[in-house]
Amino acid sequence: ELKVEQNPLFLSMQEGKNYTIYCNYSTTSDRLYWYRQDPGKSLESLFVLLSNGAVKQEGRLMASLDTKARLSTLHITAAVHDLSATYFCAVGGTSGSRLTFGEGTQLTVNP
């Protein structure tokens, strides 16, 4: 059974600081996704990572994938308040379209 662990689960940081969210998964997978969810809102797709060593960047967020270590990171650079949200990683299993989500990281960026 595929298990996905995120840490930290809660992250409070100051504006302008850098931090990294980690996503570990237990079995081989060929696709990993990062989503953002604002309170009471839908999930917004941020990144799709498909190969070992993949790195994608959008604004102050950068995601990477190490399939050998079964680890993905979401790095936040010079955080701003607008980044406050819950971030989920989701890993694709071997059967069809099923995704297994991590518990989510609730990020709060303080002025």
Partner 1 sequence: DTEVTQTPKHLVMGMTNKKSLKCEQHMGHRAMYWYKQKAKKPPELMFVYSYEKLSINESVPSRFSPECPNSSLLNLHLHALQPEDSALYLCASSQVDLIQYQPQHFGDGTRLSIL
Binding-site ranges for partner 1 (CB under 8 A): 30-31, 33, 35, 40-45, 48, 50, 86, 88, 92, 96-99, 101-104, 106
| Selection from 4, 30, 44 nearest residue 94 by Cα | 30
Residue 23 C-alpha from the chain's centroid: 6
CB of 102 to partner 1, least distance (A): 7
Between 46 and 83, name the residue whose CB sits nearer to partner 1.
46
Between 42 and 68, name the residue whose CB sits nearer to partner 1.
42
CB of 55 to partner 1, least distance (A): 17
Between 10 and 15, name the residue whose CB sits nearer to partner 1.
10
Q: Which residue has the tokens 């990993």?
A: 32
In sign, the C-alpha dihedral spanning 69, 67, 3, 104 is positive
Query: Residue 73: which H helix or E strand, with range?
Result: strand 71-76
